[in-house]
């Protein structure tokens, strides 16, 4: 696999990372027991060996980051000549008494640790020890390697269905040979490109800065639990909500399932503040809601392709229906303006900066997230089809997002199998009661879920997102194997 330059946004993620602020995505997948083979004399399936073989077969997972001479300040992905999958794939046996709780505890410890930067930046852990033979797999991928959609495509290589149908990997675009003396035509083309990039960067940057200035006066609003200095520790909690119930609320109120889930997060934060015995914040906390710029149904492609919307979560609103209406109105306004406006477009600005700006500006930019938003709320689409590993069915997959500097909570959601699986990642010292927030998410959906129909039966759910805006666009197996 030949070299491939890091896209500007990927380079930004690579340089923004520090020991106390690792920038890897995570996913904790729970599987049922491996079904018995029934073949006499056959050895039990070695899950660790299966994981290692399938991970090693994903070309992207053999790539590491190296510096390049041109462009100055840039970096490229290149195949690790000494790649050894056993440096990345490990097994940990946990006490079986409370296996789900133990996996969340261990996931928090493992999410604290940055991935090794001299190797392909990913790790995978097989978590075993459950009495019934079920198990879990924790995957960590550096954000420079993938955004949410691309992470799904990479991580999905371990599943039976994708591994069986994997197509030969496409060759990445090679790094073009450097020319110290480009011709006049090329010089003119470069100049035009740079002017165009500069104009677009100024336009997006002005929008980002304008929103940030407005935001500066609100910094004392949200509770300090959402804006604590990092302790370098992590807590992880998981929640499962019924997608059927989310769609029932959506059908009764309008909007999208995404709106309903954002309203659930807002209501849960309100409960959490009150449960702490603290007054509600004077201003509503602002969430960054990442938006994929990939076309629905298109192959994920390399690198990150993101923008984002900013949304004031109506924590100060006491009425659940009014909270949902406020979220729906805010998201409709964001969509009308588009992803190139507002502070959420900072990812687009990063795409238009020179590599040197990312290399030397990272220490300054790392603290900018606090000026723009208070927490991250993201959604990661999964394939529509049922998935398995070694024949063991996937029961749940909880995505986990990184924490920005100065922030202490990130919320990530994935719909799968008629459920919405929510992964909460928090600073371990700032949010010691993360389980209370997890319980508040369930309680908040109970407030929004309408009563049963007159015949006592719930409405028939469709169980799947209905529009590209509804929990984003879920990839299918054909897309993932492209």
At residue 387, φ and ψ (nearest 5 deg) are: -120, 160
Element (H, E) at 363: helix 355-365
Is there a contact between 113 and 22 (Cβ–Cβ < 8 Å)? yes
Phi, psi of 315 (to 5 degrees): -65, -30
Chain-centroid distance, C-alpha 204: 23
What is the per-residue pLDDT for 477?
46
- For CA atoms 121, 435, 158, 154, give the dihedral sign: negative
Distances (CA, A) of 29 to 102, 158, 169, 230, 307: 14, 11, 25, 27, 27
pTM: 0.81
For residue 385, what are the contacts with CB-CB under 8 A and spacing of at least 6? 161, 476, 477
For the chain, 482 residues long, give each residue's pLDDT as a single digit of tens: 457 888 777 887 888 888 878 889 999 999 999 988 755 555 668 999 999 999 999 999 999 999 888 777 788 999 999 999 999 999 999 987 789 999 999 999 999 999 998 999 999 999 999 999 999 999 999 988 876 667 777 888 899 988 776 554 444 444 444 443 444 544 445 444 444 444 444 444 444 444 444 454 454 445 567 877 778 899 999 999 999 999 999 999 988 999 999 999 999 999 999 998 878 888 899 898 887 654 545 455 555 445 678 889 999 999 999 999 999 999 998 888 776 555 444 444 445 455 554 454 455 555 555 667 889 999 888 888 899 999 999 999 999 999 888 889 999 999 999 999 999 999 999 999 999 999 999 999 999 986 465 555 444 444 334 444 555 555 544 344 44
Question: Rounded distance, CA 143 to CA 14, Å?
Answer: 8
Cβ atoms of 55 and 155 closer than 8 Å: no
Residue 151: the pLDDT is: 78
Helix, coil or strand: residue 406: coil
395: which residues sit within 8 A by CB, 6+ positions away?
30, 31, 32, 134, 417
Alpha helix positions (H), 125-183: 148-155, 160-164
3 vs 238: CA distance, rounded Å: 38
Give the residues across from 5 on adjacent strands: 76
Return d(Cα 88, Cα 85) in angstroms, integer: 5
pLDDT on residue 149:
67
The CA-based angle 192-70-304, given to 5 degrees, is 75
Q: How far apart are CA 131 and CA 391, in angstroms?
A: 18
Length of the chain equals: 482
DSSP code of residue 416: E
Residue 123: what pLDDT? 96
- Using a 10 angstrom Cβ sphere, with 0-12 exposed, 13-18 middle and 19 or more buried, the burial of residue 442 is middle
Q: How far apart are CA 80 and CA 63, in angstroms?
A: 6
Residues 6+ apart with CB under 8 A from 337: none
Which structure tokens are listed for 297? 């149904």
Using alpha carbons, list the distances in angstroms from residue 116 to 78, 232, 286, 307, 363.
15, 17, 32, 27, 20
CA distance 113 to 91: 17
Closest alpha carbon to 238 in 443, 442, 25, 24: 442
Task: State residue 144's pLDDT score.
Answer: 85
The string of DSSP codes covering 232-279 is: S-EEEEEEEEEHHHHHHHHHHH-S-HHHHHHHHHHHHHHHHHHHTT-P
Give the pair of three-digit tokens for residue 60.
């992207």
Q: How far apart are CA 250 and CA 262, in angstroms?
A: 12
Backbone angles phi, psi at 481, to 5 degrees: -95, 0
Task: Report pLDDT for 278.
Answer: 79
CA pseudo-torsion sign 387, 391, 396, 397:
negative
Among positive and negative, which fits the CA dihedral 70, 72, 78, 80?
Answer: positive
**Residues 123 and 86 sit within 8 Å (Cβ to Cβ):** no
Going by C-alpha positions, the residue among 397, 427, 396 that lies closest to residue 410 is 427
Calpha distance 419→21 (Å, rounded): 30
Q: Pick the closest to residue 269 from 317, 332, 237 (CA basis).
A: 317
- DSSP state, 224? G
């Amino acid at each position: 696999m030949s070299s491939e330059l890091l896209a500007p946004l990927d380079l930004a993620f690579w340089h923004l990372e520090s020991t106390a602020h690792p920038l890897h995505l995570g996913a904790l997948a729970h599987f049922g027991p491996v079904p018995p083979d029934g073949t006499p004399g056959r050895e039990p399936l070695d899950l660790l060996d299966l994981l290692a073989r399938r991970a090693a077969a994903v070309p992207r997972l053999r790539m590491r980051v190296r510096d390049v001479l041109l462009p100055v300040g840039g970096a490229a992905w290149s195949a690790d000549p000494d790649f050894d999958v056993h440096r990345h794939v490990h097994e940990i046996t946990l006490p079986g008494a409370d296996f789900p709780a133990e996996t969340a505890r261990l996931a928090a410890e493992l999410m604290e640790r940055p991935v090794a930067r001299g190797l392909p930046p990913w790790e995978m852990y097989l978590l075993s020890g459950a009495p019934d033979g079920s198990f879990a797999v924790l995957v960590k991928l550096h954000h420079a390697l993938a955004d949410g959609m691309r992470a799904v495509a990479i991580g999905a290589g371990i599943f039976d269905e994708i591994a069986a149908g994997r197509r030969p990997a496409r060759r990445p675009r090679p790094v073009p040979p450097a020319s110290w003396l480009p011709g006049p035509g090329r010089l003119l083309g470069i100049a035009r490109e740079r002017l165009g990039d500069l104009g677009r960067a100024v336009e997006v940057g002005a929008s980002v800065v304008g929103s940030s200035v407005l935001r500066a006066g609100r910094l004392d609003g949200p509770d300090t639990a959402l804006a604590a200095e990092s302790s370098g520790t992590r807590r992880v909690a998981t929640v499962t909500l019924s997608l059927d119930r989310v769609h029932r609320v959506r059908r009764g109120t309008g909007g999208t399932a995404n709106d309903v889930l954002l309203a659930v997060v807002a209501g849960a934060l309100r409960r959490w503040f009150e449960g702490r015995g603290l007054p509600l914040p004077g201003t509503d906390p602002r969430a960054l809601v990442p938006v994929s710029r990939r076309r629905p149904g298109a192959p994920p492609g390399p690198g990150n392709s993101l923008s984002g919307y900013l949304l004031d979560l109506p924590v100060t609103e006491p009425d659940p229906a009014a909270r949902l209406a406020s979220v729906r109105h805010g998201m409709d306004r964001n969509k009308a303006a588009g992803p190139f406006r507002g502070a959420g477009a900072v990812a687009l600005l990063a795409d238009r900066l020179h590599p040197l700006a990312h290399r030397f500006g990272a220490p300054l930019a790392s603290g900018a997230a606090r000026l723009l938003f208070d927490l991250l709320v993201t959604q990661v689409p999964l394939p529509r089809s049922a998935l398995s590993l070694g024949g063991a069915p996937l029961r749940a997959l909880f995505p986990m997002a990184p924490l920005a500097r100065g922030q202490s909570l990130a919320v990530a959601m994935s719909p799968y199998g008629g459920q919405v699986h929510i992964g909460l990642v928090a600073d371990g010292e700032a949010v010691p009661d993360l389980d209370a927030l997890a319980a508040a998410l369930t309680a908040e959906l109970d407030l929004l879920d309408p009563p049963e129909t007159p015949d006592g039966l719930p409405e028939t759910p469709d169980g799947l997102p209905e529009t590209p805006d509804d929990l984003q666009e879920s990839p299918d197996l054909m897309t993932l194997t492209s």
